[in-house]
Amino acid sequence: MILPTKHIRISESLIGLGGYLLNLLKEPTTVDHLWLKFEKVNNKRFPAYHNFDNMVLSLNLLFLMGIIDINEKGELYNATN
């Protein structure tokens, strides 16, 4: 489920979800606020349904890869900018 395979679409994988969440991280934001932003498009504009647990797993993956980081206020931000 982390990577897409023959039977798992990119939108169903954690990498695909992470890419979409990264687009939502234009400015530093909290996990709760990011979930509220994603919840508006979850299973409507985004082609696969993901719950809060999947979002947290995807954020953990992005953090481990060094793509996102946490500032002194506890907000997530894109560390590649």
pLDDT of residue 62: 97
Residue 44, domain extent: 10-78
Domain annotation covers residue 53: yes
**Domains held by the chain: number:** 1
Tens-level pLDDT at each residue, the chain (81 residues) = 788 888 888 899 999 999 999 999 999 999 999 999 999 998 788 888 999 999 999 999 999 999 999 999 999 999 997
Neighbours of 50 (CB within 10 A): 21
CB distance 14 to 61 below 8 Å: yes
Domain annotation covers residue 18: yes
Domain annotation covers residue 2: no
CB distance 20 to 46 below 8 Å: yes
Domain annotation covers residue 23: yes
The gap between the terminal CA atoms of the chain, to the nearest Å, is: 27
pLDDT of residue 78: 96
Domain annotation covers residue 46: yes
pLDDT of residue 2: 80
Q: Which two tokens stand for residue 71?
A: 């500032």
**What's the pTM value of the predicted model, to 2 decimals?**
0.91
CB distance 21 to 58 below 8 Å: yes
